[in-house]
Structure formats: C-alpha cells, structure tokens
Structure 1
Amino acid sequence: MITKNLETIASMLNVSVLDNKFIDVMVSGICIDSRKVKQGNLFIPIVGANQNGHKYVNNAIENKAVATLWNKDEPNPPTNIGVILVDDTLVAMQQLATTYRSQLKTSIIGVAGSNGKTSTKDILAGMLSTKFKTQKTMGNHNNELGVPITLLNLYDDCEVAVVEMGMEKKGELLFLKDMVKPDHAILTNVGLAHLENFDSLEELAEAKAEIADCINDNGLFIYNGDDKLINNALENKQLNKTLKIKTFGFNDKNNIYYKNIKQSETGITFETDGEVKDSFGINMLGKHQALNAIAAMLAAKEYKLTTTQIKDGLNNIEKTGLRNELLKVNKCTILNDTYKSNPNSVLAALDTFEEIKSPVKVVVLGDMLGLGKKEEELHYEIGSKLSNYTVDELVTYGELGKFIANGAKNIVKNIKSFDDKNLMTNYLSKYLNIDSSMVIKASRSLELDEVVDKLKSL
C-alpha cells in the first residue's frame, strides 16, 4: 500500500500540505470509510449522492487516521491531523492512484466482462501466487471509485496484480486506462448487465471491447472466442498491432478449450486441450467456472507458470464471498449467489442448482437491476425458462420479481411473491427443517445476503 510522508503525497497531487508541521507525517494506506480506517491511514472523504464523507472525519481520527484530503469548499478542516486541500477528493484520489501506479514495477492484468470477472480474478490470483507476490481487487472495487482504492492498496513490492475493470457506460474502461495501465487483459464475455445505458447489445459489446485499447504495447489480450458479440465488435476495431491475441472457450478453434466437464457438490473437474493439455479440478461450483479457469490459464502461461503451479493455484483460490456459496443450514442446502444478478448469471446459477439433488427444490429470485427498457420482458423470460429446471417452488422478491412469477405461472405449481424481506425470510425458514435445497439470487442492492444470514442464525 502507498507508504509515503505527507509532503510527498501532496507533491504527487501538485499541491501543498495545509500546515507544514505535518509534512513529515508518514501515511500508510488509504481509506474512504471512516468506520474502516486503520492506524496510519490517509482518510479520503468522498461526496456522494446521499453522503458527504467530510462529516465523518472525527470518526476517522478516532480510528487513528493521520491525515486527510479535504475539498476546498468544505468548511472546518481538522487541525489535529495533516490536511491536503484539493478541488475534488475523488479526482485527487484518482490522480494519486495514477501517479502511484506509474511508480510501481508491478505487472498488472486487467479483467473486464459482463459476467465472470470476479471469479476469473480470484482464480488467476490463486495461480499467480504460487510464483509471485500477488495482489488482486478486493470485493467489487472495479469502478472509478474502486480501482484507485485497489491501486493505492498495492504494496510497492507487489510483483503481479489482477485488477477488475468494470464499466457501466461507454468510455469508462478508457477512463480507467491511465490509472491501471494493464500489461495484459482478459475479456470474459458480453451479457445483459448494464444494458440500461446502451441502445443494443452490439453497442455494449463495443464498449466492453475497449479493454483492448487499454493494454500496454506488446501485451496479451485474452478473450472468449466463442462469444459472437465480442468477435463482431473486434471485427470493426483497429487493434494495437503489437498486441498478442489468444482466445478461450469450448470450441476447438480456440487457443485453449475445455471438455468432459463434470460437477459435484464440491466443485468441478474438466479436461483442457490446445495450448494446455491436462485434467484439472477446482472447488468452485458452476460449470461456467471452467471457462473462467481456462482464461486464467492463458494469462498464467504468459507468466511462465508450469502446469503443476496452475494446479496448485486452483487448490488455493481465495474466493470472493456471496458467489455460489454452498451452505448447509439444518436440513436445508442453500446456494448463496446474492452478489449480483442479470439474466446470464441467473441461468448459470440455475444450471449449478440443477446439479444439486434433493427432494424439495426452492428457487428464490429477486429483481435484476440495470436491464433498461426491456427489464420487464427479461424478467418474464427468466420465469418462462424455469421449464428447463426442477423447481418445486418459486419465491420472488421485489417489483420486477413479480414478472418472473408471471413468466413461471404455467410452469411452477407453487409461487410466492414478497415485497417485505422479513416476511420472506420467515416464510423460507420452514424449509430449514425439511430435506430441501434453495438457491437465492438477486441484484446486490437488494441485499438478499441478509436473508441468508438470518436463515443461518435461526
């Protein structure tokens, strides 16, 4: 993490420390949440739509922050810690991250895509850690706010970092380009996430393909060769001629492809062919994880990892929570996939859930947000596609979830819809004492992980 005195940090921002008596104060790491500040941190208060971080500076000081950035138009900067005045704390944090990244010798792999970014990141970081000092994006810090946090928390001796690069609008990946400066990049796929900001899937794919424009000269661009939207977007794109390009998928025309995939309640096994020929196991649920794993393998090979190191890495994955977590609560098996939701990821979760055998199967689905003008139709389609799965009861949550229920009304015999999370939790609790299984999935802002936590506590 960034460890410098306050005068150096101010110079990286082309400004001065407000009070010279603090110029030699050593900063160790940054934090934007006053509740999570650790001793030695630089507190960076962010002004958001609903909160102003400047109001919480005293709490940050109580938690041992030693300095703060401070918007010039905010009154009453603290006098008992170092203060750096800036025009905008978010912009200043991004500038600080950009400068700090340019000082690091760290090699960075950027990961973009509609689905699979986080799992691919986790898998690749596990592989690379067998050979290098490796760090990765923690949680979902993958946007204009999260990426600078990720970069500023890299240690100066970090050899390789895997950084998620998210986007909701055209041009956002290019905005992150100068901050991240990825040496290589992976594009997992193009799906329906964030479709509300685009007129078509083709336009969304073009925006995702901008990850190729972010890669440093002579870098490696890895993408899903079976994704027609990606292929079409790249056909119309002038790529940097110095880039190396490799693809992954299930088609044998790719540089690496998988076959003979099998799933159990403990994970998946599969074989690979092409540039890597072997069999592998991974303790992550979902057959789609094979795609994420082979994408990571191509990147690992670029760093000269052996097949043995790749296998060791697959056995040491530090997984991000709330994604395909299999829990046993009394007699009920719960597949917790409450991290995010869109039509592609819902179907992937249902594919995984189908492999879990139990006498009673309950599907719990909440609103999928960010789908644009067709959101009602897309929710209805998910309900209609439940005909492909074993479902004894469908439980929906939220206004859009009711369209899932309508789509499934002639398919699933038992359907319940809720707008109250506590009422839904109480209703679902009856399954804890029945030999049963349930999958719970919705967009992150619905916070259905609270339902899982409550069920675990009963």
Structure 2
Amino acid sequence: TRGVLLCGDENKVIRDFSIDSREGSEDSIFVPIIGERVNAHRFIEGALELNGATFTSEHCPEGEDGAAKGDRLWEQIANKTGMVKPWIYVKDTVRAMQQVGTCYRNRLSLPVVAVTGSVGKTTTREMIATALSAGKRVFQTLGNQNSQIGVPLTLSHMSPEDEAAVLEIGMSERGQIETLTKMIRPDIAVVTMIGVSHIAQLKSQENICLEKMDIVKGVPEDGMVFLNGDDPFLVPYRGRLEQKTFFYGLSDDCDYRAEDIVNGDGQISFTFCADDLRLPVTLSTMGEHNVRNALVALGVAHQMGVDVSAAAKKLSKFHGQRLKFVRCGRCTVIDDTYNASPDSMKASVGVLSSMANVQGRRVAALSDMLELGEDEKRYHYEVGEYIAEKEIDELVVFGELSREILKGAEEACAERKRPCVRKTADEQPETAAGVMPGATDGSAEPVSRQRGLVLTEAKDREAMTAYLMRTLRPEDVVLLKASNGMKLFEVAKALTEQNVK
C-alpha cells in the first residue's frame, strides 16, 4: 500500500477488514471510507475500541500533501485512551484495501471462478458453488459483496483450507470490472448475460458488454471463459478470446446445452448435454434462466474434474435466495422483490406463466425499474408487451414508469386481439369480470390466456397492498417484482406475515 506507520506495533497481525466503526475485532483493520454523504474518518476513535488498527488518508506526517498536517490525532487518542494501536497513512483507503485484498489472493493457490453479468450473477454464483461442493470445499462471495469494497472484504475471508472459490463481481461505472478481475485473477470467468442495468452510466448495451467482458483481462492464457450462448452480445466472442471458451445455453451449437425441458409443479427438469454426455437433471427452482444457470454450473464442475452426476444431485436440492415461493392461506406468493431489470422481470414473469397446476389466477404485481437511463419508458413498455404474450391473468402496477408496462400490455393485447380491460385498484373486481367472465372471480377453475388480461393501476404501494389483500384467493399465485427502491418487499410482508403454510 506504500503506507506510512504513524504509530503502533509494525508486527501487529491483521486478518480482515472492517468498514463499519460499530463492528470489528482485534484482528481487523478499520477502513474509513469517504462517501458522498459521510466521511468515516470521523469515526476512527470509536472504531479503534473494537478494531486492532486503522487506515487513514486524512491524518499524516507533516510534509505530506492533501491531508490534515500536524493535528497528530493518533497521539491525542493514544493519550486519551492509553492505547497505542497502529495507524497507517495511505493516499486512498479504498485503494489500499484493494491492494491488501490482492495480497490475500496471491497467498492462496486455489482455483477461482469469477462471475459477472447484468442479470443472474448471484444465483449463478450460488449454483456453481453448489455444484462444485460435490467434490471440493468451496468458498463463495459473502452476501452481495461484489463491489470495489465488497470484493477485497470477501478475499480477506478466504482460507488455506478452501479448495475452490466462486466470487461475484459487479460494477456501477466503466473500468471497475478490470480492477476487480485483476485483483481476483480468476482461473475461470463466467459472463451470464448482457442486459441494461447501469445503462444510465454506460449509455449503451455495447458499452455494458465491453465492461463485462473486461473480466477476461484477469484470466491467464491457460484459463477458461464461459459465455451465455443465447446472448446476442456474447455469441460474437466465439473464437476471439485467447483463453479456452465454452458456450452454454439452449442453442444447438452450445458446448453445454439443455434438451427436453419440462416445467413441473415448483420444479423444472431437462437433459444436460455435452459432447457424448447426457444426464437428466431436475431443479427445485423454475424458469429457463435457471436452466442456463445450472448448465454453466455443471459445465464448470465438469471442467474442474468434479463428478457431474454428483454435482447434478447437489443442484437438485438448490433453492436460492432471490426467487422465494411462499404458500400462505391467502395465496401463493413469488417474492422476487430484491431488485429488477427488464431481463430479470421478463424471466420472473416467465416463471409465473409457466407454472403448472395453477388452479386460480396468475397475477403479476409489478412496479418501477430504476436507473435505466433515457430509454426507461421503452424498457417498461416492452415488459408490458411481453406480459401480453404470456399466461398471465392480471397485471397490477403502481409507479410513474409502470404505467408504461400497462400501456405496452394494453396495446399488445389489442394487436393480438386478446381481450383486455384496464381499471384502477379502487374499482371492484366485478368490473373486469363483467367483461371477461371468470378472470377475477377467484374461482378454482383454471383460467386460460384467451379469457383475457386484467390491467389494474394502484395509486401507490399501500393501494396495491390493499387491493391484493382484498382480491387474492387461496388458489391464486402472485408475483411481486420491482427495483428495491420501490419497496415491494413491504407488500410481500403484508401478504405473507399471516397464515404461512
């Protein structure tokens, strides 16, 4: 880090980082981060009550530029507390943290898999780790620590006992993927798909693709790259990379592909195909996107020498953290409220549409997708068009942008001559039922797509909650999805906090 020890024992052993002054241990070093709203240097004194050392970029020896010269705060705190803990002056605390993270990585020789992409990073990472656990002790990213700060935090928790690591890397602006992949130095890189998340910052999907593909800059020449063979932005990389490249997906020309896909009740099955290998696989999750996730998980396991049959058995018990099915007395809730992009919203709608043995209605309760840039209305409109093609019985939304979802669905229904009625959440369900009998009557009779689509607009989150609680029946299935900032998790909580089965 080229840091300067201001005080304390230079032989002090530090094992991990702390970025929260209220947390830490004698084995951790506090990293005061200068954020947009808060400069954590103000919390150093409190942080040292728990942590064994601290970085600082604002207190330094006299003669250093750009810092508080001569205040010698470390001496003031030492005199006040009677404790002299190491203070290390660095130019940039986050950069220093990343450099130490690189040192942690360099000390370990285990194979590392790095996962990036616009959609599906977390689930893909979890499924790869699950598949590899059939033959190895696997370390994986903690929670959603995939950022410029989160990755070095994660690296500090790897241990010599680990036999493989699966790490997730994300970005919010250009150049961040290259920084992280060079820190991680993955043996295998995975790119899930190129969507429009962060398009407000990067301006185009082409730029997003370039940023995501920077992950290969950290992969050695004898490493491997796995790309989604169904993604039009990734397919052109066939034959262009110096690393050995594998494509996975539903296309016939993929190296790892799926055949005979069958949707069941809360599960999906398919045949895993690779060269002369054919293996039946059943997942306890739904959606074709999870088939792709399983394909790359099994492909990575195959290339790393893990028995594929054992890996598939592990995957059969995988449930994941994002798409949560909750059966309660009121209805069945698909809680996918963590976040949303156009691609992930379509994927979740696809899961709802493909569910087998639904005796009631399929209801999609959606709200705005944020940070989509100047084309945000178009992306919402396209989600509505997609819904009009699917086996969805009612669409309920709130939010300024979500009106475009309603508009897209309404106009697509008109083009396809699919019966459709638009109303507000204040109107009684019978208003729509009068136009399309059975569409909102809560009967146990299965409702087909030809019987129409009800489009309902709520004025806010509370109105959506009240409407759903009033109209949902035990046989119904409702999907909840939006960007986290829309707080649809509060709707999910209201629907599920009582009578959970």
- SS of the aligned residue for 1:18 comes to strand
- SS of the aligned residue for 1:27 comes to coil
Name the residue aligned to 2:400. Answer: 399
1:436 aligns with 2:476: yes
1:122 aligns with 2:90: no
Query: Which deviates further from its counterpart, 51-60 or 254-263?
Result: 51-60
1:146 aligns with 2:169: no
Name the residue aligned to 1:131. Answer: 135
Mapped partners of 1:267, 1:165: distance in 2: 28
Q: 1:23 to 1:431 in 2, by over 3 A?
A: farther
Contact kept in structure 1, 2:354 and 2:391, CA below 8 Å? no
**Offset at 1:196?**
2.0
Which residue of 440, 446, 450 maps to 2:486?
A: 446
**Offset at 1:346?**
0.9
Contact kept in structure 1, 2:224 and 2:244, CA below 8 Å? yes
Mapped partners of 2:127, 2:363: distance in 1: 29
**Offset at 1:170?**
3.6
Mapped partners of 1:39, 1:328: distance in 2: 45
1:15 aligns with 2:3: yes
**CA shift digits 1:317-369 (9 cap, x unpaired):** 473x2x11101232311111122211111111011011331413321112112
After TM superposition, list the pairs within 5 Å mapping 1:92-103 onto structure 2: 92-103=96-107
Name the residue aligned to 1:10. Answer: none
Name the residue aligned to 2:40. Answer: 53
Q: TM-score, normalised by structure 2?
A: 0.80
Report the RMSD for the aligned CA atoms in angstroms: 2.6
1:416 aligns with 2:420: no
**Offset at 1:58?**
5.6
**CA shift digits 1:109-162 (9 cap, x unpaired):** 111212222111111101112222211112222222222222122123322111
Name the residue aligned to 2:415. Answer: none
Query: Which deviates further from its counterpart, 207-216 or 282-291?
Result: 207-216
Where structure 2 has 5 or more consecutive residues not aligned to the other structure, the ranges are: 59-66, 412-419, 421-452
Which protein has the larger Cα radius of gyration, Structure 1 or Structure 2?
Answer: 2
Q: 1:418 to 1:158 in 2, by over 3 A?
A: farther
Name the residue aligned to 2:247. Answer: 247
Name the residue aligned to 2:263. Answer: 263
| Amino acid in structure 1 at the alignment position of 2:250 | F
Q: TM-score, normalised by structure 1?
A: 0.87
**CA shift digits 1:207-251 (9 cap, x unpaired):** 32222232112001111223221123x26x9532xx212111112
Contact kept in structure 2, 1:195 and 1:371, CA below 8 Å? yes
Contact kept in structure 1, 2:281 and 2:316, CA below 8 Å? no
Contact kept in structure 2, 1:395 and 1:418, CA below 8 Å? no
Name the residue aligned to 2:331. Answer: 332
Contact kept in structure 2, 1:30 and 1:153, CA below 8 Å? no
After TM superposition, list the pairs within 5 Å mapping 1:181-330 onto structure 2: 181-232=185-236, 234=237, 239-240=241-242, 243-275=243-275, 276-315=277-316, 317=318, 319=320, 321=321, 323-330=322-329
Q: 1:392 to 1:59 in 2, by over 3 A?
A: farther
Contact kept in structure 2, 1:263 and 1:287, CA below 8 Å? no
Q: 1:273 to 1:433 in 2, by over 3 A?
A: closer
**Offset at 1:57?**
4.3
1:66 aligns with 2:48: no
Contact kept in structure 1, 2:105 and 2:155, CA below 8 Å? yes
**CA shift digits 1:6-41 (9 cap, x unpaired):** xxxxxxx23244322x44444342232345545643
**Offset at 1:304?**
0.5
Aligned residues: 437
1:30 aligns with 2:17: yes
Query: Which deviates further from its counterpart, 333-342 or 41-50?
Result: 41-50
Query: Which deviates further from its counterpart, 126-135 or 79-88?
Result: 79-88
Mapped partners of 2:38, 2:263: distance in 1: 44
| Amino acid in structure 2 at the alignment position of 1:247 | F
- SS of the aligned residue for 1:339 comes to coil
**Offset at 1:387?**
1.1
Mapped partners of 1:436, 1:39: distance in 2: 53
Q: 1:198 to 1:28 in 2, by over 3 A?
A: closer
- SS of the aligned residue for 2:113 comes to strand
**Offset at 1:171?**
2.9
Among all aligned residue pairs of Structure 1 and Structure 2, give the percentage whose two residues are the same amino acid: 29
Mapped partners of 1:290, 1:112: distance in 2: 17
Name the residue aligned to 2:350. Answer: 351
**CA shift digits 1:360-381 (9 cap, x unpaired):** 3321112112322111111122
**Offset at 1:71?**
2.7
Contact kept in structure 2, 1:330 and 1:432, CA below 8 Å? no
Q: 1:194 to 1:430 in 2, by over 3 A?
A: same
- SS of the aligned residue for 1:277 comes to strand
| Amino acid in structure 2 at the alignment position of 1:187 | V
| Amino acid in structure 2 at the alignment position of 1:301 | H
